[in-house]
Chains A and B, each alone.
Chain A
Amino acid sequence: MSDTRETETASREIDLTNEAQSEAVAAGHDPSPAPIPTEPERPAEVETERPVVISTHDMEVFYGSFRAVEPVNMDFKAREITALIGPSGCGKSTVLRCFNRMNDLIATARVNGEVRYHGENIYDPSVDPVEIRRRVGMVFQKPNPFPKSIYENVAWGAKINGAASGKAEMDELVQNALENAALWDEVKDKLGESGYSLSGGQQQRLCIARAIATSPDVVLMDEPASALDPIATLRIEELMLELKKSYSIIIVTHNMQQAARVSDKTAFFNVKLDEDGMRTGRLVEYTDTDQLFTSPSEEETEDYITGRFG
């Protein structure tokens, strides 16, 4: 397992090094060659090359007057997978839903602090949540394709956002999305059939295709594989690693092994029970996945990942 990870890390760095080089050239100065590391840790220079896509600044979530999530400060970089883990009730899904303002749909929910997307606060009153949701896509726990054809499922989100003008463009967009979701070969001959004619794993990949059809740069995934069988789960995980090349992915998962397999960085949330039995979530630790699972700095984290609770 660790071998694969090292190879992956190495290949990631080579990509980034190439990109870094071309960016540097474009900026007009000589790039210094990035050293090939001997340890699994990523060197600092390479990290700074990837821009921060989403950052939170003292983000809290309230339901009415009850604080459900304590202030969270996190940075999510482009083309990186971050996993949010923690016991049930720790608020990880709530936090995820803050990033595309889906919590707006809950009447009593309120978000304090800032969530910045490419530097702009998405909770600013002048910001249209619809625009956010187009650029920050979401995949849900239970596959939920629309009762439409496979083609229509993928096309609908793009259509209402005015993405394609004309059938040829839309066809291409649908095909791209399905290819990127590793579903094209399986459905290319039956695009007109209902989305429900697919298996669970295929439906989830359809939902992923649907989400990326609106050209987001971030994809949020709320336990995307928990309703699927192990084989389908594996395919979703493989797909995530592919998608990482183009998208920033934030995934909520209750499966620690999945987080370890798939993510670059992991955030551990824990839950606090107050006297009334109300649960408040708290970000405990947020760091590189390897570090969190091998030598976490917080005792709570260690207790969780070693199975002492949760």
Chain B
Amino acid sequence: MSAPARLASTEAPSLGVFGRLARRRKRRDRMMTAVLLVAVILALVPIILILIEVIRRGIGAMNWEFLTSTQIFSQRREGGGYLNGLVGTLYMVTIATLVAVPLGVGSATYVVEYKDARLVPFIQFFTDVMTGVPSIFIGLYIYTLLVQGNIGLSVGFSTLAGGLALSLLMIPIVARSSEEVLRLVPDDLRNAAYGLGARRWQVVTQIVLPTARSGLITGSMLAIGRAAGETAPLLLTALGAFTVVPQLVNAPQSALPLIIYNEARGPFEAAHARAWAGALELMLLVLLVTIVARAIGRGTEIEQ
């Protein structure tokens, strides 16, 4: 098909050679727009399907007993709940947050406020690398280090091991988002603070960090949401438990994702039903954290 040398106007409703080309191009444009629309629809279908199924099947099995009792020892039977998992998740995520947020925010503060330090490019690079580390590998690492006890001290499968594994997952997320937020604090404010005779630590802790506070919280909460949903590292560090476990060390701990994983893989209907309810519970937890995080972030942008 030879095309004429001149571009035809797409608005021209004319006949003849130019008209035919224009109509063809117009058709193709419409077709491709449809293709793009199909792509978007295909991209959206899964989230809709997931939400529908999780809500539908989860609601059915979720009841007061589910939320407040711990697991029964047989997957085959009905009854019991995932309370031990919920407690374990909250327990370990709290530990993870206590470790990851200071380290992540501290690292980001160093990178932004002391940006000419020699260590900074390395920290940035390796933080990026750390975001790509597979979560199961983090579990293996904590296993060799603390459960097996390569460095001499062993805590066994435990809440602490699980919490630390989750913290390693969170640190790069917190560090990256904190770095972005701290960069947004205008230099003007720092200059004004230095100009008043403040020392560096005063400028950073009393001016820069408070200004960035809402963004820092948002970033940390998004990391928390991510950690709450993790399964793989916990398989190797917390192991799982059937009861509520208050001990920090030397006792395996349960977690919501762990229970869901185990119950879903078995062949029992009762277990499957509970797993859907557990998934709903987990997603509500993650969604809650995500929504709160974004609300905090949107509500107070850094003012100019």
Contacts and interface: CB of A to CB of B under 8 A. Distances in A.
B197 A105 contact: no
B120 to A, nearest CB: 13
B198 interface: yes
Contacts of A156: 196, 206
Contacts of A148: 210
Nearest to A108: B116
Contacts of B194: 102, 105, 133
A100 B196 CA distance: 10
B196 A196 contact: no
A146 B199 contact: no
A211 B194 CA distance: 11
Contacts of B198: 130, 133, 157, 160
A107 to B, nearest CB: 5
A59 to B, nearest CB: 19
B192 A133 contact: no
Interface residues of A, number: 28
Interface residues of B, number: 20
Contact of B195 (A133, A161, A196): A133
B189 A144 contact: yes
A207 B192 CA distance: 9
Interface in B173-214: 186, 188-189, 191-199, 202, 206-207, 210-211
A134 B188 contact: no
Interface string A134-178: 110110101011111000000011001100000000000000000
Contacts of B202: 160
A298 interface: no
A234 B197 CA distance: 29
A223 to B, nearest CB: 13
B11 interface: no
A137 B193 CA distance: 11
Contacts of A210: 192, 196
A137 B196 contact: yes
A144 B186 CA distance: 9
Contacts of B116: 107
Q: Name the residue among A132, A144, A156, A207 with the largest chain B CB count within 10 angstroms.
A: A144
Interface string A84-105: 0000000000000000101001
A222 B116 CA distance: 26
Contact of B189 (A135, A146, A161, A211): A146
Given A147-B210, A147-B303, A161 B192 contact: no
Nearest to B115: A107
Q: Which of B186, B189, B195, B303 is packed against the most chain A CB atoms within 10 Å?
A: B195
Given A107-B116, A147-B303, A196-B303, A161 B197 contact: yes
A234 to B, nearest CB: 24
A144 B303 CA distance: 11
Given A147-B303, A160-B206, A102 B195 contact: yes
A145 B192 CA distance: 8
Contacts of B211: 146-147
Interface in A178-225: 196, 207, 210-211, 214
Contacts of A102: 191, 194-195
A303 B192 CA distance: 35
A130 B189 CA distance: 17
24 contacts: A100-B195, A102-B191, A130-B199, A133-B195, A133-B197, A133-B198, A134-B196, A134-B197, A137-B195, A140-B191, A142-B188, A144-B188, A144-B189, A146-B207, A146-B211, A147-B189, A148-B210, A156-B206, A157-B196, A157-B198, A160-B196, A207-B192, A211-B195, A211-B196
Interface of A: 100, 102, 105, 107, 130-135, 137-138, 140, 142, 144-148, 156-157, 160-161, 196, 207, 210-211, 214
Interface of B: 116, 186, 188-189, 191-199, 202, 206-207, 210-211, 302-303
Given A146-B189, A147-B210, 14 more contacts: A100-B195, A105-B191, A132-B197, A133-B198, A137-B195, A140-B195, A142-B188, A144-B192, A147-B303, A156-B196, A157-B197, A160-B198, A160-B206, A211-B196
